[in-house]
Amino acid sequence: MQKEHCKDEDALLFRKFAKQRTIKNGNRGGAQGHYAVTPSGELLAASSSANYKVLVEMMKQGLEKWETLPREKRLLPKSPDPKAANNWRKKENLYPDDGLVLRVIARDQKRERWPDSNLDYAWFRKDEARTLFADKPKKGAKHDVPRELVERLARFHLLDNVHALNYTFFPKEAIEKARLTSTVVQINGELVSLRFEGETRASLVSPKKIGYEPKLLGRATFNLKEQKFVSFELLAVGLRWGLGNCNQRHNPTPALMGIVFTLAGDSQAERIPPAFLSRYGW
Amino acid sequence: MKQILVMMAAVLLLGQSVLAADEFQEKELTLTNYAKWRDHVLPRNWELSYRRLPWRTSFWGAVIEAQAKDKPILFWAMNGHPLANT
């Protein structure tokens, strides 16, 4: 939204105060960082440090300046329009209320430096979630999860973002293996207990050599009456190799990385769209 | 670098990180070491402490609220989303 051509109201307001920021030391790049601002877009204070002491000082400075500003400088001349956000929050509107929303955590086997884990979300529409196990479940029934869904996991979620957001996702042709099998281990009333087992391999050689080859294991419980998962765990562990794009990986040597998918909550913070949602084809 | 900043705003913030030592050494995923690997990857409580704050995930939503309450905004902008993949 900070692209210069963007005329969305929130982007215009952001650019107004971002331009006022001057940081000599510790800038994390671009406009990243913390800002204390007024609703009218006046910059009160700013920092770009991960040091909490710097942030606390910045907040104190911001509050002091806030106290000196008259109301007409602090606030917009008229109330901002809540409906304006409909123009740019299109991804959020795709949230699958009746589907499956998973929190995705990635971490290296060996913790080298902070931050050493990252978080993303994986979304499944209701009909997609239901294809994770047999249409007519009975104990012992095995079911191959549609390759399309497993490929989606391998391309956009089984990624090395341990240290930072990785802009390198895997193209379809990079997926060499994408298999996930579910087995019904028990049916207790409306509850179907499942096990997952599988593997994926994604390998990209050009423009850069990067890949990940994990084994997959997991378990879940589906409520047939409510038509939703009430528990879910899927664990991927395997070698990752190569570097990424902006992901702060400095050592390309193959090393073990784990990624865990678990049920997300439904708070605002848990409804953030997956990083590569726009590639889902929804 | 792609320039897609996703922004968020809030009225509070705290941040502190600590490097945690971990001697985890299992090599391959099996049913036997499944729980150990899972517990290794899942975040500790202290790693999620920043998420306990009532962050607003949309800058515009925070502007509307701050305008109505006549309050300043603490705004956190990152490549990616500060509450998710960043």
Burial class of A134 by CB neighbour count within 10 A (0 to 12, 13 to 18, 19+): middle
Compute the nearest-CA separation of A77 from chain B (Å). 10
| Among candidate residues A21, A56, A88, the one where a domain is terminated | A88
B78 shares contact with chain A (CB less than 8 Å)? yes
Q: Is the peptide bond before A252 cis (omega within 30 degrees of 0)?
A: no
**A218 neighbors A235 (Cβ within 8 angstroms):** yes
Blockwise average pLDDT, block size 10, chain B, 86 residues: 40 34 64 95 90 89 95 91 83
H helices within chain B, ranges in order?
Answer: 34-41, 59-69
Blockwise average pLDDT, block size 10, chain A, 282 residues: 70 87 66 92 91 93 97 94 82 94 94 83 98 96 98 97 87 97 98 98 89 97 97 97 86 93 93 94 94
| Structural domain boundaries enclosing A76 | 3-88
pTM of full prediction above 0.95:
no
For residue B13, which residues of chain A lie inside 8 Å, CB to CB?
A: 34, 55, 59
CA separation for the pair A39, A202 (Å, rounded) = 46
Q: Would you state the pLDDT for residue B71?
A: 97
Do A49 and A102 share a structural domain?
no
Q: Would you state the pLDDT for residue B3?
A: 40
| C-alpha distance from residue A192 to each of A47, A72, A221, B40 (Å) | 50, 60, 5, 27
Chain A from 104 to 123: CB within 8 A of any B CB:
105-107, 109-111, 113-115, 117-121
Q: Does the beta-carbon distance from A44 to B72 stay under 8 Å?
A: yes
Q: Does the beta-carbon distance from B28 to A215 stay under 8 Å?
A: yes
For residue A29, which residues of chain B lie inside 8 Å, CB to CB?
A: 1, 79
Residue A159 CA from chain centroid, whole number: 11
Do A273 and A174 share a structural domain?
yes
Q: Does the beta-carbon distance from A3 to B55 stay under 8 Å?
A: no
Q: Would you state the pLDDT for residue A143?
A: 98
Q: Would you state the pLDDT for residue B21?
A: 38
CA separation for the pair A218, A132 (Å, rounded) = 12
Model ipTM? 0.89
Q: Does the beta-carbon distance from A272 to B20 stay under 8 Å?
A: no
A246 shares contact with chain B (CB less than 8 Å)? yes
Q: Would you state the pLDDT for residue B18?
A: 35
Do A243 and A119 share a structural domain?
yes
| Among candidate residues A37, A61, A88, the one where a domain is terminated | A88
CA separation for the pair A197, B4 (Å, rounded) = 36
Residue A145 DSSP one-character state:
P
Find the CB nearest A1 among B5, B27, B64. Answer: B5
Burial class of A104 by CB neighbour count within 10 A (0 to 12, 13 to 18, 19+): buried
Phi/psi of residue A263, each to 5°?
Answer: -60, 135
B35 shares contact with chain A (CB less than 8 Å)? no
Do A97 and A31 share a structural domain?
no
Do A156 and A224 share a structural domain?
yes
Q: Would you state the pLDDT for residue A102?
A: 98
Q: Does the beta-carbon distance from A75 to B28 stay under 8 Å?
A: no
H helices within chain A, ranges in order?
Answer: 9-18, 52-68, 71-74, 126-130, 147-156
B53 shares contact with chain A (CB less than 8 Å)? no
Do A225 and A151 share a structural domain?
yes
Find the CB nearest B15 among A3, A52, A110. Answer: A52
Do A261 and A176 share a structural domain?
yes
Do A249 and A113 share a structural domain?
yes
Q: Would you state the pLDDT for residue A28?
A: 61
Phi/psi of residue A139, each to 5°?
Answer: -55, 130
A159 shares contact with chain B (CB less than 8 Å)? no
| Among candidate residues A40, A58, A88, the one where a domain is terminated | A88
CA separation for the pair A266, A272 (Å, rounded) = 10
In total, how many domains does chain A have?
Answer: 2
Do A51 and A68 share a structural domain?
yes
Do A172 and A49 share a structural domain?
no
Compute the nearest-CA separation of A256 from chain B (Å). 7
Q: Would you state the pLDDT for residue A24?
A: 60
CA dihedral of A157, A161, A164, A166, whole degrees rounded to 10? -70
Q: Would you state the pLDDT for residue A235?
A: 98
Find the CB nearest B29 among A10, A237, A271. Answer: A237
**Which tokens is A241 given?**
């190799």
B47 shares contact with chain A (CB less than 8 Å)? yes
For residue B30, which residues of chain A lie inside 8 Å, CB to CB?
A: 217
| C-alpha distance from residue A146 to each of A4, A153, A182, A197, A268 (Å) | 41, 11, 11, 14, 30
CA separation for the pair A170, A31 (Å, rounded) = 28
Phi/psi of residue A218, each to 5°?
Answer: -175, 180
Do A182 and A225 share a structural domain?
yes
**B76 neighbors B13 (Cβ within 8 angstroms):** yes
For residue B66, which residues of chain A lie inside 8 Å, CB to CB?
A: 38-39
Do A231 and A102 share a structural domain?
yes
First to last CA, chain B: 13
CB neighbour list of residue A185: distance below 8 Å, 6 or more residues apart: A139, A193, A194, A195
**B65 neighbors B55 (Cβ within 8 angstroms):** no
* Upper half-sphere CA count for residue A45 (Cβ side, 13 Å): 18
